[in-house]
Amino acid sequence: MNLLLDGLLVLALLWSAWRALASPDLARAVVLFIVFGLLMALAWARLNAPDIALAEAAIGAGLTGALLLDALGRLQPGTGAPAPESPAQPPANRAGRRWTGSVALVAGLLAAALAYALFQLPAPTVRLPEQVAANMAASGVDHPVTAVLLNFRGYDTLLEVAVLLIALIGLLTLGPAAGRPAAPGPANPLLKALARLLVPLMILSAGYLLWAGAHRPGGAFQAGALLAAAAVLLHLAQLLPAWASPGRLLRLGLAGGFLIFLGVAAALLAEGALLTYPPAQAGGLILLIEAGLTVSLGLILAGLFLLFAGAEERP
Amino acid sequence: MLEALSALLLLAGAGFYLAGTVGLLRFPDVYARLHALTKADNLGLGLTVLGLALQADSLAAALKLLLIWPLALAASATVSHAIARRAAGLGLKPWRPEEKRP
Amino acid sequence: MSAGLLYALAGVLLFALGLGGIVLLRHALRRILAFNVMGSGAFLVLVGLAQRDGGADPVPQAMVLTGIVVAVAATALALALLRRLPEDRP
Amino acid sequence: MTGLEAPLALFLLVNLLAALVRAARGPTAADRMLAALLFGSTGVGMLLLLAYAGGGAPLVDAALVLALLAAIAGVAFAQRAWHRDREGGDDA
pLDDT in tens, D18-71: 888 877 777 777 777 788 788 888 999 999 999 988 878 889 999 999 988 888
Question: Which of B24, B44, B85 lies nearest to residue D45, judging by beta carbons?
Answer: B44
CA dihedral over A174, A179, A184, A185, signed as positive or negative: negative
**Cα(A228)–Cα(A288) distance, integer angstroms:** 20
C38 touches chain A (CB under 8 A): no
> Is residue A241 packed enough to be buried (19+ CB in 10 Å), middle (13-18) or exposed (0-12)?
exposed
- All residues of chain D having their beta carbon less than 8 Å from the beta carbon of residue A11 are 17
Q: Which residues contact A66 (CB under 8 A, 6 or more apart)?
A: A232, A236, A305, D72, D73, D76
Cα-based angle B76, B77, B79 (whole degrees, multiple of 5): 65
Closest to A216 (Cβ–Cβ): which among D29, D58, D75?
Answer: D58
Residue A190 contacts B, CB cutoff 8 Å: yes
pLDDT in tens, A252-282: 989 999 999 999 888 888 877 777 888 888 8
Which H or E run includes A267? helix A248-269
Distance CA A130, CA A136 (A): 10
Alpha-carbon distance of D84 to C53, in angstroms, equals 50
Taking alpha carbons only, the member of A229, A213, A297, A239 closest to residue A67 is A229
Question: Is pLDDT at A86 greater than 60 in this prediction?
Answer: no
Name which of A7-11, A142-146, D77-81 the model is least confident about.
D77-81
Percent residues over pLDDT 90 in chain B: 25
CA distances from A215 to A28, A297, D53 (A): 41, 21, 22
* Cα angle: B41, vertex B42, B48; to 5 degrees: 90
Do you know the residue count of chain C? Answer: 90
Minimum CA–CA partner of A9 in chain D: D13
User: What whole-number percentage of chain A has pLDDT above 70?
Assistant: 89
User: Which of D8, A193, C61 lies closest to B82 in space, CA to CA?
Assistant: A193
Overall number of domains in chain C:
1
pLDDT digits (tens, 9 = 90+) for A207-248: 999 998 888 888 899 999 999 999 999 988 888 888 877 888
- With 0-12 / 13-18 / 19 or more C-beta atoms within 10 angstroms meaning exposed / middle / buried, residue A134 is exposed
> Could you tell me if A259 and A158 are in contact, meaning their C-beta atoms sit under 8 angstroms apart?
no
The secondary element (H helix, E strand) that includes residue A115 is: helix A94-120
Residue C72 C-alpha, separation from nearest chain A C-alpha, in angstroms:
7
pLDDT for the residue numbered A55: 93
Domain presence at residue C89: no
What's the average model confidence in pLDDT over D76-92? 55
CB contact under 8 A, B86 and A185: yes
Residue-wise burial string across A253-272, b where 16 or more C-beta atoms lie within 10 A, e elsewhere: bbbebbebbeebeeebeeee
**Is B79 in Cβ contact with D70 (below 8 Å)?**
yes
pLDDT at residue B87, as a whole number: 81
Contacts of A253 (CB under 8 A, 6+ apart): A295, A296, A299
Question: What is the pLDDT at residue C37?
Answer: 96
CA atoms of B37 and B21, how far apart (whole Å): 7
Q: How far apart are CA A33 and CA C14, in angstroms?
A: 13
Nearest Cα residue to A31 out of B76, D59, D20: D20
Widest Cα–Cα separation across chain D: 53
| A203 touching chain B per CB within 8 A | no
CA C40 – CA C36 distance, rounded (Å)? 6
Q: Which amino acid is at C3?
A: A
How does DSSP assign A179-191, residue by residue?
SPPP-PPPP-HHH
Q: Residue C28 falls within a domain, yes or no? A: yes
- On the question of pLDDT at A183 being above 70, the answer is no
The rounded radius of gyration (Å) of the Cα atoms in chain A is 23
* DSSP bridge partners of A301: none
Taking CA atoms, A256 is separated from A4, A283, A306, C81, in Å, by 47, 20, 19, 26
The CA angle A42-A43-A48, to the nearest 5 degrees, is 95
Chain B within 8 Å of D78 (Cβ-Cβ)?
yes
Q: Looking at the complex, does the CB of residue D33 fall below 8 Å from at least one CB of chain B?
A: yes
| Chain B residues close to A188, C-beta within 8 Å | 81-82, 85
* Residue pair C12/A115 in contact by the 8 Å Cβ criterion: yes
> CB of D76 within 8 Å of any CB in chain B?
no
Q: How far apart are CA D9 and CA A30, in angstroms?
A: 26
- Give residues 153 to 212 of A whose Cβ lies within 8 Å of C: 153, 156-157, 160, 163-164, 167-168, 170-171, 174, 177-179
- What's the average model confidence in pLDDT over A44-50? 91
Q: Which chain A positions have a beta carbon within 8 Å of D68's beta carbon? A: 198, 201-202, 205, 226, 229
Is there a contact between A257 and A292 (Cβ–Cβ < 8 Å)? Answer: yes
Provide the 3-class DSSP secondary structure of residue A90: coil
Q: Does A2 touch chain C (CB under 8 A)?
A: yes
Q: Do C and B touch (≥3 CB pairs < 8 Å)?
A: no
- Cα B32–Cα B35–Cα B36 angle in degrees, nearest 5: 95
Is residue C88 one of the residues assigned to a domain? no
Q: Which of residues 5-24 of D touch B (CB under 8 A)?
A: 5, 8, 11-12, 15, 18-19, 21-22
Number of neighbours of residue A166 by Cβ within 10 angstroms: 12
| The predicted structure's pLDDT at residue C18 | 95
Q: CA dihedral defined by A243, A246, A250, A254, rounded to 10 degrees?
A: 100
Binned at pLDDT 50, 70 and 90, residue A285 comes out as confident
Chains B and A touch (3+ CB pairs under 8 A): yes
- CATH number, domain of C8, equals 1.10.287.3510
Is C4 in contact with A47 (CB distance < 8 Å)? yes
pLDDT at A14 over 90: yes
Size of interface A-C (CB pairs under 8 A): 225
Distance in angstroms (rounded) separating the CA atoms of residues C43 and C65 = 9
